[in-house]
Amino acid sequence: MASTSVFPREFGDELLLHIFADVAPEDNLRSLQLVCKKFYTVANDQTIWKRNCCTSFRYWQDESWFHDKVAGDKADVDWKDLWLRRRRRNAHIARLFDGILETKVRRLDRFRDICEYGYDAKDFLLEQIQTLDDAEDVLARRYFGMTILDSLHRGMAVEVWSRLQDPVNPPSLDRAFGAFDMFVLHDQPQDLDYIDRWFNEAADRFRATQQEDWHHMSTRSKALALARWLRTQEGFEGSNSDAYRNFRNCLIGHAISDPEHPSLPLVSSAIFASVATRLGLDAACCNAPIHVHAVVSSPPGLDLDGNPLPTPDSVDRMYLDLYNSPQEIRHDDLDRRRQAYATAGHNHPSLPPTSAFFDPAPLHALVERMANNLKTSYSSVKRLPEDSLAIHPLTALRAGDPELNTESLLYAVLWAHLLSTPPTSPEWDDGLDFFLNRFALQYPEDAWIVTRHLAPIYDSFVSAPERRGRHRVGWENVREILKMLGNLDARTPVLSRRYTREIHERVRYKIGQVFRHRRYGYVGVINGWAAPGLASLPTPHYVPPEEAGEGTAVGNGEWEGTSFRRGGEGNTYYTCLRPNCDRLRLAQETIEIITDPGLIPQQLFFLAGKFFKRFDRETCTFVSNITEFYPDD
């Protein structure tokens, strides 16, 4: 009997394998492999599923393992099973994400569960950030996709810094500095793995340019050749004085990927040291006051020129300032700098010792130095008027809103201070209250990071004998703040209904309407209301400076006794979203509704995703995603 197959018998496995490789893996599973036994065998070939793993997913939590397996030829990976596990993981992440969009209840738990997948969640989150404009909930998907991805990146950065005090397994210098980039990475590719690959490739590029036998060159010759190459061939020449305080000069990921390679002396020295280390040199940074430079130490028993040293424990060192020149800095010149610094009135016990000019600095001290540089840049921004043209060059980065990036970098500074200071130091908790306030009110999605990395350090710090008697409450207590956030996250939504004519008449405006403040002129979006008085306003919210004098956050119950003195009982109040605040309180008489979408700041369209699904241009309103609180709006 003749075969009924539509494929000729001479279709061999190799040809089918070539054809099936271009079939979508979902179609393979649903139909192709079910056609016949031959198709089943070929469609399940490991080479097809190995390719599917490479093309379906860009990011992997264990990226080095994955790329090693892809590059290897051992048949020790079930590629189809690996692909299916990633698909099931993505499906679970999608369910968690949909839950975040549907309700605010237990959002922090879902943030944590997604972030704990690490980079296995990144492909899905990037898809949400790239949601098409015509999607029904486009703003919500973009906002929460970016919020979770940012938290995931910050978690990776904090994990790096959590090892700053580890004498056995400390992070590399470039990863410790690259952790700052992760706070403003967003959807860009220049992450910690990118930074690591760049330095590996830079070392390979440099080695390929050397005509001499690298192994026969002296340490001094190698270091000077590398310094010349970085400045003349790669273009690492620091930054001009006018741009010195720009944020991007503090970020090593920006410095290596920007064609102009802008950097501070600290970053320039770190770049040199990181490439040099990969070339086998003993290179580091000196934490000298005013101006950081790099130091290269000789190998054991030899000086920098390859000659024997008089004693086995002697060390010969050379110094370089890549920011200014590829030439070696003479020891005498450094000594004159030290003396000038001392005689200029800087002899103070809290200042770095003179050894900082000559000795390699510990990694935690360099991270602290970088944090202080960012803090200085932050202060420079905040001293300028809001409409100053000088703000843009100071804050411009490759991605993200400049104002939000500015606050994120301050948040990075606070994390770096906590993790670069030994917890045995009595000063460890200096600024802890400021950090916890900023974390709780601006980055509550990071509760999983604080729980994992900060809470154990806090427990160790407060359990020290000299601190056991002190009772810590509120913003001084990490565990108490985490509990407060957990309680807020689990709270059942309180409904605000328009069920009477009086409420309809009293509350004139609805959730999602866009307005201009009659007195201050800012544009915002209504995201809460209470009638009458303030009792049912969402908490926490911010009291405007004209009411509270400080613009501080109001938590549950804190409105009592103060707000009503300002006539709360007879007035209608709202909360609103504006670019620098997600819930600001305002009175009804200060609202002037606007109907021109062109008046809405671009930043609001991203931030609106926290409360709204999409923007309706015809009505100039945002479509509510908080109907569990305001079902009639």
Q: Tally the domains of the chain.
A: 2
The answer to whether residues 392 and 508 belong to one domain is no
Contact 180, 144 (CB under 8 A): no
pLDDT at residue number 87: 92
pLDDT attached to residue 289: 85
Please report, as a single letter, which amino acid is at residue 248: R
Q: Which residue has the higher pLDDT, 527 or 41?
A: 527
- For the stretch 476-512, pLDDT in tens is 999 999 999 999 999 999 899 998 888 888 999 999 9
Residue 485 counted as domain residue = no
Span 382-406, average pLDDT: 93
Burial (CB < 10 A; 0-12, 13-18, 19+), residue 184, is buried
333 sits in which H/E element: helix 331-341
Which residue among 362, 397, 432 closes a domain?
Answer: 397
Q: Is the bond preceding 532 in cis, omega lying within 30 degrees of 0?
A: yes
Q: Are residues 378 and 526 in the same domain?
A: no
> Nearest 5°: phi and psi at 293?
-135, 170
User: Are 344 and 223 contained in the same domain?
Assistant: yes
Q: How many CB atoms lie within 10 A of CB 567?
A: 10
Q: Report, in this order, helix, strand and coil percent for the chain, each rounded to 5.
A: 50, 10, 40
On whether residue 43 sits in a domain, the answer given is no
Measuring CA to CA, which residue among 173, 177, 419 is closest to residue 285?
173
Q: What was the pLDDT predicted at 21?
A: 59
- Which residue range forms the structural domain that includes residue 326? 189-397
Please tell me which residue, 325 or 13, carries the higher pLDDT value. Answer: 325
Q: Answer yes or no: do 211 and 338 share one domain.
A: yes
Last residue of a domain, one of 354, 377, 397: 397
pLDDT in tens, 85-142: 999 999 999 999 999 999 999 999 999 999 999 999 999 999 999 999 999 999 999 9
What gap in Å lies between CA 475 and CA 552, rounded to an integer?
13
Is residue 124 domain-resident?
A: no
Is position 438 within any domain?
no
Q: Which pLDDT belongs to residue 424?
A: 87
Both 205 and 341 in one domain: the answer is yes
On whether both 226 and 351 belong to a single domain, the answer is: yes
On whether residue 165 sits in a domain, the answer given is: no
Residues 226 and 374 in one domain: yes
Which residues are registered as beta bridge partners of 615? 622
| Secondary structure (H, E, C), 208-242 | HHCCCCHHHCCHHHHHHHHHHHHHHHCCCCCCCHH
Between 77 and 552, residue with greater pLDDT? 77
Average of per-residue pLDDT across 553-571: 44
In degrees, rounded to 5, the angle at the alpha carbon of residue 519 between the alpha carbons of residues 516 and 523 is 20
Is 526 a domain residue? yes
With respect to residue 318, please indicate whether it lies within any of the assigned structural domains. yes
The dihedral of CA 473, 477, 479, 480: what is its sign? positive
**Quick one: which of 600, 591, 399 has its CA closest to 510?**
591
Instruction: Pick the last residue of a domain from 353, 377, 397.
Output: 397
pLDDT at 36: 62
Indicate the pTM of the whole model.
0.90
The string of pLDDT tens digits covering residues 329-386 is 998 888 888 887 777 665 555 555 777 788 999 999 999 999 999 999 999 999 999 8
Q: What is the pLDDT of residue 48?
A: 73
